[in-house]
Structure 1
């Protein structure tokens, strides 16, 4: 089956711009027969005519205009990639991936610290899910990944621990638990919950809760701003990772969960053949993790 090709898209675009296969051949440095052959292949891929042949040139069809709209995006992206490849990447640039709550305080602090130590260092941050970041790391799209709760790693990747992230619950300021230093899970059984998924196994609840317990879910919201807004309005409580605590608004109160299982390991993942765990940015991450961990332990004190 015929398929669209980069060469064919360029030929179609030039023929449409110039209104002539001959002009397209001149602009691209092709023979007219080569241009005609490419147009024929592109029309086969489109399944319909792309040009109306006229006595004094050609005119794009409606189908051609659809192809052109997408061709511009594809060709412009390829041109940008070619231009970027002409400029060697600076040796001081590092691409870092992190899960969302790690970008609240841990990773930003590490970026600031690493930039102070190495003024020429450029950090490009990518936020995403653990699965997406592991795939990006394996495919060399990022150099390091800050992930949470990873049990198994793909071949070629290694992990170094950063910190054990304690879990908290966010409650409305007027909630009976708002002034408490900590709370046992059993005291949370009758609460209404704001969760990221209707399936408790896919939320932080599964990290410490009794599997026989069915939480009473009041609202489902994936976005942290929405979750905290619902909590502040008194519509339920939600689990909050310790990494997110420094960035929380004053409209909610934070209470630690007094349970040994109410933690999530946060790790630095890297390729064995890529940047090592002793890279300056990795060192800044470890220092920031230690600093953040000390702050959280201070908060955990009765």
Structure 2
């Protein structure tokens, strides 16, 4: 197989007209250029130069070989450039997993930030609940996953994954605009023991967190409607069909008015909330992972400030 470095040197000799000029251009000595051309003649069986006492004139074979090799050298240069870009995280594909609320409220800003810095990057997005996304990380079908957990329904992230906190997402009691507690100066969650509740699916951490919060207040919520789509949950509340516990992140989507929100304090006196993290494998070979995590972290900072500025529209209540 021909040595590509020798072909590159041949092209430079043909272009510049001499071994000495090619040596200056390539950063070699004239002797090194001569040795490379001798090696190329030996490898091809061609006479590439008519050598005189003070000159070496390219033959027609040398010009033909240099012309044919030019395209190959350009392609190789492009491959080398792509390899450097991939290694530096300046191009390539990153596979991102996220839960639906974050996909709508957090992920778009993070992807936009990432693409502004690295426009040649492609992002693939897939959605799922935390258990699905952890499994996808383990299998390698995603590189980075945005997940959540509820302190009221504790869970640990796998020890073989790096978990970076993104933001705290306060839980809001969401009621119809004309609900009786809206005008109360204070209230307790126990005041809602007789209400119809709207919750996420029974197997979800959100449903378990609601059950725990209500248990701390001394009752079991009577759940009549279940949906993992917070737009649906708010629509049911707006229609006066029940009350719900909705993460503030869902309201960052602008899912419409007609409801009031109340801050909720858990039994320990802190705000009821869920916590949002980004996970990745520490041994990931994807160079874009650090840049993606940083883009998510930056986007979460801005989103967290916006959430904290959203004041609840009725007095805070407590689970106790």
What is the TM-score when the length of structure 1 is the normalising length? 0.62
Aligned pairs for 1:56-95 (under 5 A) are 91-95=91-95
* Structure 1 runs not aligned, ≥5 long: 1-87
Which of residues 214, 229, 240 in structure 1 aligns to 2:235? 229
Which of residues 164, 170, 174 in structure 1 aligns to 2:174? 170
Change (3 A) 1:92 1:254: farther
Which position in structure 2 is the counterpart of 1:57? none
Change (3 A) 1:97 1:189: same
Q: Do structure 1's residue 106 and structure 2's residue 106 form an aligned pair?
A: yes
Shift of 1:137: 0.4
Shift of 1:178: 4.5
Change (3 A) 1:198 1:138: closer
2:264–2:271 Cα contact (<8 Å) kept: no
* Structure 2 runs not aligned, ≥5 long: 1-82, 316-320
Which position in structure 2 is the counterpart of 1:246? 252
**In structure 2, what is the Cα distance between the partners aligned to 1:102 and 1:126?**
12
Which position in structure 2 is the counterpart of 1:291? 302
**In structure 1, what is the Cα distance between the partners aligned to 2:127 and 2:104?**
11
Change (3 A) 1:235 1:130: same
Q: Secondary structure at the match of 2:252?
A: helix
Which position in structure 2 is the counterpart of 1:269? 279
Deviation digits for residues 180-203 of structure 1 (CA, Å, limit 9, x no counterpart): 898643343333211123579761
Over aligned residues, Cα RMSD in angstroms? 3.1
Deviation digits for residues 223-262 of structure 1 (CA, Å, limit 9, x no counterpart): 3333222111100011111211111222433322233151
Deviation digits for residues 22-61 of structure 1 (CA, Å, limit 9, x no counterpart): xxxxxxxxxxxxxxxxxxxxxxxxxxxxxxxxxxxxxxxx
Aligned pairs for 1:139-150 (under 5 A) are 139-149=139-149
Change (3 A) 1:100 1:177: farther
**In structure 2, what is the Cα distance between the partners aligned to 1:288 and 1:297?**
14
**In structure 2, what is the Cα distance between the partners aligned to 1:153 and 1:200?**
16
Shift of 1:116: 2.0
Aligned pairs for 1:129-144 (under 5 A) are 129-144=129-144
Which position in structure 1 is the counterpart of 2:157? 153
Shift of 1:121: 2.4
Q: Do structure 1's residue 217 and structure 2's residue 223 form an aligned pair?
A: yes
**In structure 1, what is the Cα distance between the partners aligned to 2:204 and 2:93?**
39
**In structure 1, what is the Cα distance between the partners aligned to 2:162 and 2:102?**
19
Change (3 A) 1:264 1:298: same
Q: Secondary structure at the match of 1:238?
A: strand
2:263–2:271 Cα contact (<8 Å) kept: no
Q: Do structure 1's residue 97 and structure 2's residue 97 form an aligned pair?
A: yes
Q: Which entry has the higher C-alpha Rg, 1 or 2?
A: 2
2:170–2:274 Cα contact (<8 Å) kept: yes
What is the count of residue pairs matched by the alignment? 215
Shift of 1:278: 6.9
